[in-house]
Amino acid sequence: MRLSSTPSSQGRGLVSRRYERGSTLVTSNRNVAESGTVFGDSVVATAILDRLLHHSHDVTIRGDSYRLREKRWSGLLRAADTTHHQ
């Protein structure tokens, strides 16, 4: 998903306002290297990531999501049908 310029600007503004003032939790199924594509501008993405990753704790969770597990358990999804996005 690529954000339009308006959400990108809003994201940058939000991160700038919260920078070193409070905690911010960000979740994503995208790799940090894809941020330029997600935000539509690699310069904006770099500025946002610079503030987000300064003093941060990065937690990487591997494996299937609860939604995928439930679908597999209920028979709606076979194990071979899953794809992992990094």
Question: pLDDT tens, 47-57?
Answer: 888 988 888 88
pLDDT confidence of residue 86: 47
Q: Where are the domains of the chain?
A: 5-81
DSSP for 35-70 reads HHHHHS-HHHHHHHHHHHHTT-------S--HHHHH
Q: Which of 27, 29, 35 is nearest to 3 (CA)?
A: 35
Full-prediction pTM beyond 0.75? no
Positive or negative: CA dihedral 73, 76, 78, 82: negative
15 compared with 83, residue with greater pLDDT: 15
Neighbours of 35 (CB within 10 A): 18
Please check the confidence at residue 22 and state whether its pLDDT lies above 60.
yes
> What CA–CA distance (Å, rounded) separates 67 from 61?
15
Give the pLDDT score at 80.
Answer: 60
